Chain A
Amino acid sequence: MQDAMDIQEVDDSTLRVVLAGRLDSNMVDRIESSLRARIDASPHHVIVDLYEVGFAASLAIRMFVAIARQLHGTGRLIVLFGAQPLVREVFDHVALDDLIPIVPEAADALDRVAGVAR
């Protein structure tokens, strides 16, 4: 699984960020500033597709929390979905879902952002 990031506009209110590979410090270093700049330049909610992410460390969690805080100020939401079991276990150990919604499927993520008043 090669490290990669793709950003797609799902509709007029949602960006879908597709990540693949290992969310370690190297990958976070490579993607964080461009991802945050893209989110900053958009008025959209963000859903993050983690189906192809096989590894996530604390710096990836730090990045997601920073993005959540960045979006929160403008009434927007970030939702994570598709986490593999061991990645989900890491998120659960730090109670990440108290800060950021984590749902199983893309449809669930779209439902969550659709339910947020703007």
Chain B
Amino acid sequence: MLDAFLDRHACGERVRFVSALLLEEAVSNLFLRATRPAERCQVVLTWDEEAGELSLSLEDDGEPFDPCHAPAYTAASDLSNAPDGGRGIHLMRVMADEMRYVRDSGRNRLSFRVRDRGRGEEAGQGARTPSVRSAG
């Protein structure tokens, strides 16, 4: 589904990689964190041609969970104190250009924006500051 959508809009390699990563991490997180798994999860993709930007949102009916307010990731200094997991939320935060969370009408809505740097902006040019917000 994601690949077909990105093909249709001729999205660049970075948008493809980051959107797949966000979807993978967000969906994995739904299953890993839930004591009561969501029964329904809807993914909505929108491509803004003018801005060269992908919007990806996931809405689920599971327990409230705001990844924007999850504890900050701390890198381990060596194997003895390294956790096996716990890196997915951090990757979502740093790889997306924007990440937002809202709890609305009993549902979690997690949304991301990913800019296509091949369109109007050179890859890797300038500093990028991800935006992370939550409300609701």
Contacts and interface: CB of A to CB of B under 8 A. Distances in A.
Interface of A: 22, 24-25, 54-55, 57-59, 61-62, 65-66, 68-69, 72, 86, 89-90, 93-95, 98-99
Interface in B7-34: 13-14, 17, 20-21, 24-25, 28
Contact count band on B: 20 to 34
Given A86-B14, A94-B91, A57 B21 contact: yes
Contact of A99 (B17, B76, B88, B90): B76
Contact of B13 (A62, A69, A86, A99): A86
A44 to B, nearest CB: 19
A24 B21 CA distance: 8
A10 B89 CA distance: 37
B79 A57 contact: no
Contacts of B25: 57-58
Nearest to A71: B79
A66 B87 CA distance: 14
Given A55-B20, A86-B14, A94-B87, 18 more contacts: A24-B20, A24-B24, A25-B24, A25-B28, A54-B17, A55-B21, A57-B24, A57-B25, A57-B28, A58-B28, A59-B85, A65-B79, A68-B79, A69-B79, A86-B13, A93-B94, A94-B75, A99-B76
